Chains A and B, each alone.
Chain A
């Protein structure tokens, strides 16, 4: 049995086992979660949380599903944060510096405080990727922001009102669609399928009696 520690959930004190995550501590305390709970494994960003250890100044951002409770932890969840998402047509925009200027001009008001980076629940270099976005360096922005779960804690700390996850998402889509080279083998295969070139092979294999199919499967060559 784990030791019991004190946590303050929205300021109210509860005693919980020390080996729980913050999310499990809420449930242990009796909360039936609806908001602030998604994949429970650090991928969806539903459980953005801010906390402070009593008596310390530092304010921390984390995901409640992936963070263990600590003694005297004061927790507030951030199950929703109003990020600003601009609507665009991916087939019409182009990967130019002007795109950011048009859609997310507030990134140029970044004051360089780095609060976003300090708050990031994924330890990403948020301010740095925004700097790349400012300069139209979408591929670098995409790379640095790739592990973003869009929880919004960065934006909650931003004095310039930037919606960092949305800026990064735009940069990633521009990179994927326009900057990374075309996969020629993919284009070729899609053409073959659309022309009907794969039909004969498919028909041949689908007509095989089950025993023959099994034999084919059990003796198939496996690429090294």
Chain B
């Protein structure tokens, strides 16, 4: 396969190559706090006010959210007008876990460990989740020069001090315990011959605490957790989406209305406790951005919880990963792991100049790239989208030939499939919608403000403040997934359910009508629709 770069790109590569040797061993200056603030305000998509709207009803009324999120939060229920019999449920369990990613699986394993009768429902397969796609690694302060307190400082600073301190405390103090748990389950972390974890920096870390399993870190964790779920014979009802939370007449969460994704059959699950582990929102394509997320990342859990009365936190902040693929088209928007920069690759513009430090926090790095392209006009033009060079050949120059292949096999394979050998030529990247910083508000016990409705993983808001650091999401799904499973697994033993009801769904619908809002979509969205527009078809 021939290299698919245009002649113009090849011209620019010559300039990138000319400066490469001089970049080895050179560390670009990091920005000051003031410089970062100014950059974010001018170029970060979260500050693009035109793309936000006010939420009109519900617990967060009066606050802003991306337009697309407001539309689904104020959407019409999929069961509107249906008279469902809740008295004879199809499933009756202690703990119902909604979502089969890393958080949901961790929660289910711990609930099972606590002796609870737990079931997972997931709208695709168990493991079809952002966890599977997390490449770079998982943070935890387990080295001698590091501490949970040092980790805490990095998390708070990276999140612009908006994080909920108690959640961060839990994250960093349980970090080493989470790694140990995974290690004992048989996750193959990168270790040296003495067993020491091989750890690197991520953007915004002050210590090298990024643990990895090559660049399949999330996949390695996910397939191990999934295997453990199966070993414990935890029932997994796949291709089945939760479309509403059910409550009891006391107002406690008491189950969910489910929908078979293939037959559209409606099923009722009764549960003493419910854990929302539905993940993120990349497939909402906020502001028209491409995404690194899996097919089902449509913020379902936020819609379910919001209708059930649970407030959200920081629903107006999203993470745009600085290095999404800008070219070629078949992998447009896909993630290029931050580990590529941890290993030494730098950002270089069309003229071959380094314009910022490669390991600023993600929001700052993304904004710096957007400025370089939009304001300074120094982007690299490609047939798909303008971007910036990420000078990947630097990695083998710094660490020796063969390093990139060994430590970044997934990245190498992804690009080789497109005819691009990233060991030899740089790649073009541009920010991609990557992570939902905000989500459902929870306490340290993982419970939302609706009794017995727990949340785990990316659906939680507040842990990461307004910007998450690399490697803290894999950590958060394990720490808060296990926590939710333990808490719900204990709590279910004292729960007495009253009669089940969906009156909150009707009430929400009335509130919308009273506010004069006509829903424009049904929600939760469940899956994006990538079929071409302008075609006549019967639905």
Q: Are B191 and A189 in contact (CB under 8 A)?
A: no
3 tightest Cβ-Cβ pairs between the two chains A and B = A173-B186, A181-B195, A217-B157
Please name the residue on chain B nearest to A201 by beta carbon.
B149
Known: A181-B191, A185-B196. A193 touches B148 (CB 8 A): yes
A-B contact pairs, 14 of them (CB 8 A): A33-B527, A35-B262, A42-B417, A43-B216, A66-B330, A146-B188, A169-B223, A172-B220, A175-B186, A176-B189, A177-B185, A180-B195, A202-B173, A220-B153
Closest A residue to B193 by CB, please name it. A181
Residues of B within 8 A of A178 (CB): 186
Stretch at the interface among A49-57, A70-78, A105-113, A203-211: A203-211
Segment touching A, from B60-68, B139-147, B345-353, B435-443:
B139-147
Q: Kindly supply a per-residue 1/0 record for chain B positions 172-205, scoring 1 wherever the CB is within 8 Å of any chain A CB and 0 otherwise.
A: 1100110110011111110101111100010000
Instruction: A43 to B294: give the CA distance in the assembly, Å.
Output: 10
Question: If A30-B531, A172-B188, A181-B193 touch, does A187 touch B133 (CB 8 Å cutoff)?
Answer: no
Cα distance A186–B180 in the bound complex, in angstroms: 7
CB within 8 Å: A-B pair count: 219
Do A223 and B145 touch (CB < 8 A)?
yes
From A202, which residue of chain B is reached at the shortest CB distance?
A: B149
Check if B230 sits within 8 Å of A147, measured CB to CB: no
Known contacts being A43-B132, A44-B127, is A149 close to B219, with CB within 8 Å? yes
Per the bound structure, the CA–CA distance linking A204 and B169 in Å amounts to 12
Q: Does A12 interact with chain B (Cβ within 8 Å)?
A: no
Does A4 belong to the interface (CB within 8 Å)? Answer: no
- Given known pairs A30-B537, A175-B186, A190-B177, the reply for A223 and B295 (CB within 8 Å) is no
Tell which of A19-27, A128-136, A153-161 binds the partner.
A19-27
12 more A-B residue pairs beyond the given contacts A172-B186, A185-B197, with a C-beta to C-beta distance below 8 A: A38-B125, A41-B334, A44-B132, A87-B230, A142-B188, A146-B220, A172-B220, A186-B197, A202-B148, A202-B169, A206-B152, A213-B157
**Distance, CA A39 to CA B527, complexed state (A):** 12
Report A1-50 residues with CB < 8 Å from chain B CB: 19-21, 24, 27-28, 30-35, 37-44, 46
- B395 in the interface (beta carbon within 8 A): no
Q: A169-B227, A202-B149 are in contact. Are A32 and B529 (CB under 8 A)?
A: yes
Q: Are B224 and A42 in contact (CB under 8 A)?
A: no
| A41-B527 in contact given A87-B233, A177-B185 (Cβ < 8 Å) | no
> When the two chains form their complex, are residues A189 and B537 in contact, meaning their CB atoms are under 8 A apart?
no
- Indicate with 1 or 0, residue by residue over B314-336, a CB within 8 angstroms of chain A CB atoms: 00000000000000011100110
Output the residue of B176, B193, B410 with the most chain A CB within 10 A. B176
Q: Which residues does chain A contribute within 8 Å of B218, judged by CB atoms?
A: 43
Of all chain A residues, the one with the shortest Cβ separation from B291 is: A40
Q: Contacts A173-B227, A189-B141 known; A24 to B409 CB distance under 8 Å?
A: no
Residues in B neighbouring A66, C-beta threshold 8 A = 330-331, 414, 417
Does B530 sit within 8 A of A, measured CB to CB?
A: yes
B35 CB, nearest partner CB in chain A, Å: 12
Closest B residue by C-beta to A205 = B149
In this assembly, does A117 line the interface, its C-beta being within 8 Å of a C-beta of chain B?
no
Contact status A205-B142, CB under 8 Å: no
**Are A186 and B142 neighbours in the complex by a CB distance under 8 Å?**
yes
**Contact A147/B410 with A186-B179, A202-B148 known, Cβ cut-off 8 Å:** yes
A172 to B180 alpha-carbon distance, docked (Å): 16
Given contacts A90-B228, A173-B186, A205-B153, contact A39 B208 (CB under 8 A): no
In the complex, which residues of chain B have a beta carbon less than 8 angstroms from the beta carbon of A183? 142, 183, 189, 191, 195-197
B208 vs chain A, min Cβ distance (A): 6
- In the assembled complex, which residues on chain A have CB atoms less than 8 Å from the CB atom of B527? 32-34
* Interchain nearest-CB distance for A2 vs B (Å): 9
The answer to whether A213 touches B295 (Cβ under 8 A) is no
| B239 and A34 contact, CB distance less than 8 A | yes
Q: Return chain A residues, CB-CB under 8 Å to B125.
A: 38, 46
User: What residues on A are CB-neighbors of B185 within 8 Å?
Assistant: 90, 173, 176-177
A201 to B149, CA, bound (A): 6
Q: How far apart sit A123 and B410, CA to CA, in the bound complex (Å)?
A: 12
Q: Is B33 on the interface with A (CB-CB < 8 A)?
A: yes
A66-B417, A181-B195, A201-B147 known; A193+B176 contact, CB < 8 A: yes
B128: chain A residues within 8 A (beta carbon): 38-39, 44, 46
Instruction: Tell me whether A94 is interfacial, beta carbon within 8 Å.
Output: no
Q: Which residues of B contact A32 (CB under 8 A)?
A: 527, 529, 531
Contact check, A176 vs B413: say whether CB atoms are below 8 A apart. no
Q: Cβ of B329: which chain A residues have Cβ within 8 Å of it?
A: 19
Q: Which residues of A contact B330 (CB under 8 A)?
A: 19-21, 24, 66, 68
Which residue of B124, B186, B195, B414 contacts A182 across the interface (Cβ within 8 Å)? B195
Contact: B153 with A28, CB < 8 Å?
A: no
B535 located at the interface, meaning its Cβ lies under 8 Å from any Cβ of chain A in the complex: yes
Tell me whether A195 is interfacial, beta carbon within 8 Å.
Answer: no
Given A169-B223, A176-B187, verify A90-B231 contact (CB < 8 Å).
yes
Judged by a CB distance under 8 angstroms, whether B161 is at the interface is yes
Which has the most chain B C-beta neighbours within 10 Å: A21, A68, A122, A142?
A: A68
Closest to B228 in A: A90
Which one of A39, A198, A213 has the greatest number of beta carbons of chain B within 10 Å? A39
By the criterion CB–CB under 8 Å, are A43 and B133 in contact? yes
Contact B183 A223 (CB under 8 A): no
Given contacts A24-B530, A146-B214, A149-B219, are A40 and B173 in contact (CB under 8 A)? no
Interface flag for A221 (CB, 8 Å): yes
Residues of B contacting A20 in the complex (Cβ-Cβ under 8 angstroms)? 330
Looking across the interface, which residue of chain A has its beta carbon closest to that of B187?
A176
Interface residues of B in 209-249 (CB under 8 A from A): 213-214, 216, 218-220, 223-224, 227-228, 230-231, 233, 239
For window 116-146 of B, CB contacts with A under 8 Å fall at 124-125, 127-128, 132-133, 141-145
Instruction: Enumerate chain B residues within 8 angstroms of A220, measured Cβ to Cβ.
Output: 150, 153-154, 157, 206
A175 to B188, CA, bound (A): 7
Determine the residue in chain B with the shortest Cβ distance to A184: B195
B143 cross-chain contacts in A, Cβ below 8 A:
185
